[in-house]
């Protein structure tokens, strides 16, 4: 019998997994062309040609709009910038509440703060790990102005249902779709179902431009406000004839021509970059499904999952070993698992101490609520983080076909010998 690597045996996978490499000859050529043209940015922060960026930025936005079947696309320099701009565009005002999930990258939860919005955490659905519609409904108050749904790990939140709910109440749905390019619900692209959807093009995502982000919307008024906030709104509102001056103070969130040139190539190859990962993740799921105490990622029937992470649920009682010990044994075999994902965001010092903007605790001092209630309110997020989540960061690795089976073998070796791990 083979001995587990953690107990001194040979690991199943001895070579290091290579990082995913997505930059190729076409990206290189596109960058060189920008250099030869000597126009690294076409933006001007005033009301003239160039307010909307240079030729590649504009072409990248048009191509993105076509690919995702959405009316308007506004590129920005990150998903974080896009979320902040979205909060500005929808008119978040001091004291407005924004409902969002606690399990996501921190940018989702801090975006409202920049306009004085107050993040309110709502629990996750235990099966798709995205924000629960019932939890959103329970969290709504007369001060709620928006919901941010995160398509976590590449699986769609219940976007269609949330959009309908938000429309009925006259509030906004913003999608953080950093992890879900080409994910879809009922055949509609994630990132285009909310009033605004934001994609990330940072180095760690399915496709990237080093840093970058794309905001999608079908609403021309919101698109215009996003363009303004991206590029010094206050200086152009007169010439643009903008009547509503709410949040019309701008930043510089502009993408360079270099990034746009790379983005155009990456967008052209997006199917390969996304579906290669999907194929790998589905292969892992099919080999590892049906094990007692272990639940591979579930996909709602009306959805397409794009597996930024392959995230499974571990039940220590049924498996008979602690999640941490099992994870160590997997890693010793060369299986690149991790546990927990991010700690629920209400534990961040800013929420716990109630200090965000300035020394008086703005805007959290506008809320009567304290963040100490959320570990109890978000019991699903707590249990997934503390006990259940065990996953693989699919997007990080070059996972060729031949390694998929060996990774599954490594997992099964640990699973079948798990009784030997009991301390």
Ligand X SMILES: *Cc1c(COP(=O)(O)O)cnc(C)c1O
Q: Which residues bind ligand X (CB under 6 A)?
A: 78-80, 104-105, 107-108, 150, 176, 178-179, 200, 202, 213
- Least distance (Å) between residue 86 CB and ligand X: 12
**Least distance from ligand X to the Cβ atom of residue 323, Å:** 23
Task: Name the residue nearer to ligand X (CB basis): 178 or 312.
Answer: 178
CA distances from residue 38 to 28, 33, 241, 257, 291 in whole angstroms, order as listed: 15, 9, 33, 10, 58
Count CB neighbours of 209 within 10 A: 28
Indicate the residue among 209 and 337 with the shorter CB distance to ligand X: 209
Closest separation in Å from C-beta 17 to ligand X: 21
Nearest to 395 by CA among 203, 175, 264, 262: 203
Closer Cβ to ligand X, 153 or 335, answer by number: 153
Burial 90-104 (b: 16+ CB within 10 A, else e): bbbeeebbbbbbbbb
Q: Distance between CA 410 and CA 413 in Å, rounded?
A: 5
> b/e map of 109-125 (b: 16 or more CB within 10 Å)?
bbbbbbbbbbbbbbbbb
Closest contact distance (angstroms) between CB of 202 and ligand X is 4
Question: Closest approach of Cβ 103 to ligand X, in Å?
Answer: 9
In angstroms, give the least distance from the CB of 77 to ligand X: 8
Q: How far is the CB of 356 from ligand X (least distance, A)?
A: 18
Q: Name which of 107 and 288 has its Cβ closer to ligand X.
A: 107
Nearer to ligand X, 179 or 231 (CB): 179
Give min distance, CB of 80 to ligand X, in A.
3
Alpha carbon 320 to its chain centroid, in Å, reads 33
CA–CA dist 155, 134 (Å, integer): 18
CA separation, residue 271 to residues 83, 183, 276, 279, 306 (Å):
25, 11, 8, 11, 11
Report how far residue 150's alpha carbon sits from residue 145's, in angstroms, rounded to the nearest whole number: 17
Nearer to ligand X, 158 or 413 (CB): 158
- Closest to ligand X by CB, 146 or 332: 146
Please, which residue, 259 or 332, has the CB nearer to ligand X?
A: 259
Q: Which residues of 148-166 are buried (b: 16+ CB within 10 A; e: fewer)?
A: bbbbbbbbbbbbeebbebb
User: How far, CA to CA in Å, does 222 sit from each of 12, 146, 172, 196, 243?
Assistant: 53, 14, 11, 8, 14
């Amino acid at each position: 019998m083979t001995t587990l690597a953690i107990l001194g045996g040979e690991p199943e996978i001895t070579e290091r997994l290579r990082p995913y490499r997505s930059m190729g000859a076409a990206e290189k050529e596109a960058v060189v062309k920008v250099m030869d043209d000597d126009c690294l940015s076409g933006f001007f922060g005033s009301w003239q040609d160039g307010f909307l960026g240079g030729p590649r930025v504009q072409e990248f936005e048009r191509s993105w709009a076509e690919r995702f079947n959405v009316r308007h696309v506004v590129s920005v320099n990150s998903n974080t910038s896009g979320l902040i701009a979205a909060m500005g565009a929808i008119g978040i005002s001091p004291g407005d509440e924004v409902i969002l999930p606690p399990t996501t990258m921190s940018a989702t939860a801090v975006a409202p703060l920049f306009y004085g919005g107050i993040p309110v955490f709502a629990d996750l659905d235990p099966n798709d790990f995205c924000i629960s519609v019932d939890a959103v409904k329970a969290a709504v108050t007369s001060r709620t102005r928006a919901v941010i749904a995160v398509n976590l790990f590449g699986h769609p939140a219940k976007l269609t249902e949330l959009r309908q709910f938000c429309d009925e109440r006259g509030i906004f749905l913003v999608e953080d779709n950093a992890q879900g390019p080409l994910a879809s619900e009922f055949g509609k692209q994630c990132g285009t179902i909310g009033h605004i959807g934001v994609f990330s093009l940072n180095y760690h995502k399915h496709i990237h431009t080093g840093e970058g982000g794309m905001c999608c919307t079908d609403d021309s008024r919101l698109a215009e406000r996003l363009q303004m906030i991206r590029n010094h709104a206050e200086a152009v509102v007169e010439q643009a004839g903008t009547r509503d001056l709410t949040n019309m103070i701008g930043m510089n969130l502009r993408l360079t021509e270099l990034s746009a040139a790379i983005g155009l190539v990456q967008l052209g190859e997006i199917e390969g970059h996304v579906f290669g990962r999907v194929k790998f993740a589905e292969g892992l799921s099919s080999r590892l499904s049906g094990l007692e105490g272990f639940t591979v990622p579930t996909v709602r029937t009306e959805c397409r999952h794009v597996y930024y992470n392959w995230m499974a649920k571990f039940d220590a009682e049924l498996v008979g070993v602690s999640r941490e010990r099992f994870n160590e044994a997997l890693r010793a075999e060369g299986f690149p698992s991790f546990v927990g994902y991010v700690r629920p965001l209400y534990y961040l010092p800013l929420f716990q101490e109630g200090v965000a903007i300035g020394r008086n605790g703005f805007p959290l001092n506008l809320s009567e609520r304290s963040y100490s209630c959320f570990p109890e309110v978000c019991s699903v997020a707590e249990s997934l983080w503390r006990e259940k989540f065990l996953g693989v960061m699919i997007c990080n690795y070059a996972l060729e076909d031949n390694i998929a089976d060996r990774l599954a073998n490594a997992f099964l070796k640990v699973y079948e010998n798990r009784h030997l791990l009991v301390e």
